[in-house]
Structure 1
Amino acid sequence: MIRANAFFCLCLLFPITVQAERYAIAIGEFPPYVSEALPSYGFIGELTTSALEHEGHTVEFHFYPWRRAYLLTQLGEMDATLPWSYTQERNEQFLYSQAILNGDVVLFFNKGKKRAWQQLDDLSDLTFGSILGYNVSPLVSQKIEDGKLRSTTTPDETASFKMLNAGRFDVVAQDRNLGFATIKTLDSIGFEVSNIEIGEQIVDSVPAYLVAGRSNHKSTVLIDSFNSGLTKMIESGEFQKLLDKHDLVQ
C-alpha cells in the first residue's frame, strides 16, 4: 500500500505525458479544401498540422487517389486520412475525430432553371448532374437512388460544371465552397460560366472528419490529440482565422 501511494504521489508530481509522434496522413485532391498545389496543402493541411502540433506531434502528408488513401489508412499503412463524411459502414473500420467543418451543399442551376423550392421532390422535372462514385449529399443521392430525381453522371467536378453551363443537364448539387472554387478556376482559364446560377437554399450540411483505422494501435491517441488541438484552435479563434485565410464559408 505504501509503495502504491508513493507511486501515485510521483504521478502527481511528474504527470505522464503522451510521447511525441510523427503521423503519416493520407490526403488527396479536393480543392479548395486540400490540394498539393496549394501553400501548406490548403486549409486541411494547415488545420491538421496545427491541431497536432498543439499536442506536441508532427505530421507528414502523402497524396493518393482518395480510394487508395482510404484503403491504406484502413490497413494501418497510413495513420489517418481526411476529410471524410460519416457512414455506418465506415464507422465499423475507422475511429472518427470530432467534426472538422460542415460542408453546406447548395444547388447550381443552368441559367433559366433556377427556382424556389420547398422539397427536393419539387425539382423532379429537372435533371441533376452527379459525379460517378461521389456522394456529395446523402439526401440528393437517396432521392436519385429511389428514382425520385433524374440524373446524368459525370467523371468529376470540372466536367459537371462545364456540362451544366452548356445545358446538358439542369442542376448540380455541390459543396458551396467547392462549387465556387470550380467556377472560379474555369473562369480563370477563359471557360464560359455565365450560364450558371447559384441557389441560396442549403440542401444538406455534411460534417467532415479525420478518420483513423481501428486496427492501428496509434489511432486512439491520434484522435484524442487531434480533438484536443482542434478544440484549442476553435477556442482561441485560430480556426476562424484559418477559414478566413482560405476564403472558406462555414
Structure 2
Amino acid sequence: MRALFSTLFFISFFCFADDSLSVKAVTDDYPPFVYQEGGEPLGVAVEVLETMASNAGVELEIAFYPWKRAYLMAKTKPDVLVFTLSRTPERENDFTWIGPIFKTPVNIYKLKSRRDLVINNIKDIKAHRVGAVKGYASEKELKKLGFVADVNLDTTNSEKQNVGKFISGRVAFISSSPAVLSFYLKEHGRSWTEVEAVYTLELVFDEYIGLNKNSNPALKRKLDSSFKELRDSGRIDYILEKHIGGL
C-alpha cells in the first residue's frame, strides 16, 4: 500500500510540475504602454500581458530595468520575456515573437516656442541635438539617417530622462511616439499642444513580446494561444482604446 501511495505521489508530482509554468517579464518605463506607480505595473501592454498569463495559467513576474539591461536579460535567459519590443530585422533572430500588441509611429518633435528652429528637411535637424533612448529601435533608425552619438544624437537611459532634457532645452529635438511624449508632457505640467512633429521616421514600429528562444516550448504555446484569443475577441483593441483613445 505504501509503495502504491509513493508511486501515485511520484506520478502526480511530476504531472503537476509539467503543468506549472512561470515567466519573468522585464521592461522599462514606456507609458502609457508600460509603466509603474507606487511599484505597481500599469499600462496597455501590462494589462494585455497579465490577462494573457492569467488565461494561460502561467505565473507572471514583472520587473523594471534600464532598457538595455532588460533586453539583454531576455535575450540570454530562458523563460524571460521583454515587452514591448519593436520587431526589426536586426532583432528578428534574437527572440521568439508574440504579437503585435500595437503599432506606433515615432516622430521627431520640437517645442513650438522654439521659433529659431526653422526646419525644411532632415539636414536642418542634423544641425542640432536630438534626444533618444539607448537601445531603442528609433535610436538605430536615427543613426541610419546619419545622426552621430555625442555630436547631434543625445542618448539617455529612459524616456523620462529623454523628455526631461527636451523640456529643459538641453536638446533641441526629441524622437518619441505621440502617446509616450503626451504622457510625460502632462507629468511636467506641459501640454501636447506645445509641441509639433517636424519629421516622421519611415518605419511604423510593431510592438511585440520578445520571449527568450531557449524558453520552455509549452510556455510559448500557451502565451501565443492566449494572445490570439485576446486579439480575436477584440479585447486588445478595447484595452488600447481605454488607455490611449482620442490621442
Band of TM-score, shorter chain: 0.7 to 0.9
Give identity over the alignment, percent.
Answer: 18
User: Any idea what the Cα deviations from partners look like across 1:130-181, whole Å, max 9, x if unmatched?
Assistant: 334444354323113479x933444543443343334443321112111111
Letter in structure 2 aligned against 1:198: E
* Correspondences of 1:147-226 after superposition (within 5 Å): 150-154=152-156, 156-187=158-189, 196-199=194-197, 202-203=200-201, 204-216=203-215, 218=216, 220-226=217-223
Partner of 1:67: 68
2:32 alignment partner, SS class: coil
- Give distance in 1, aligned partners of 2:193 and 2:50: 39
- Give distance in 2, aligned partners of 1:200 and 1:168: 18
- Give distance in 1, aligned partners of 2:28 and 2:166: 25
1:221 alignment partner, SS class: helix
User: Any idea what the Cα deviations from partners look like across 1:207-238, whole Å, max 9, x if unmatched?
Assistant: 1211122223x1x3333332322222222221
Partner of 2:81: 80
Gaps of 5+ in 2: 1-17
Gaps of 5+ in 1: 1-17
Letter in structure 2 aligned against 1:21: L
- Give distance in 2, aligned partners of 1:167 and 1:185: 17
**Residues 53 and 130 of structure 1, relative CA distance in 2, 3 Å threshold:** closer
Displacement of 1:183 in angstroms is 0.6
- Give distance in 2, aligned partners of 1:194 and 1:83: 23
- Give distance in 2, aligned partners of 1:105 and 1:90: 18
**Residues 129 and 60 of structure 1, relative CA distance in 2, 3 Å threshold:** closer
1:100 alignment partner, SS class: strand
Count how many residue pairs are aligned between Structure 1 and Structure 2. 225
TM-score of the two chains, using structure 2 as the length reference: 0.72
- Give distance in 1, aligned partners of 2:67 and 2:50: 20
> Contact 2:22 / 2:79 at 8 angstroms: preserved in 1?
no
- Give distance in 2, aligned partners of 1:153 and 1:60: 29
TM-score of the two chains, using structure 1 as the length reference: 0.71
Partner of 2:232: 235
1:69 alignment partner, SS class: helix
1:51 alignment partner, SS class: helix
**Residues 106 and 71 of structure 1, relative CA distance in 2, 3 Å threshold:** closer
Is residue 246 from structure 1 mapped to residue 243 from structure 2 by the alignment? yes
**Residues 124 and 245 of structure 1, relative CA distance in 2, 3 Å threshold:** same
* Correspondences of 1:101-140 after superposition (within 5 Å): 101-110=102-111, 111=113, 112=115, 120-121=122-123, 123-136=125-138, 138-140=140-142
More strand by share: 2
Letter in structure 1 aligned against 2:207: A
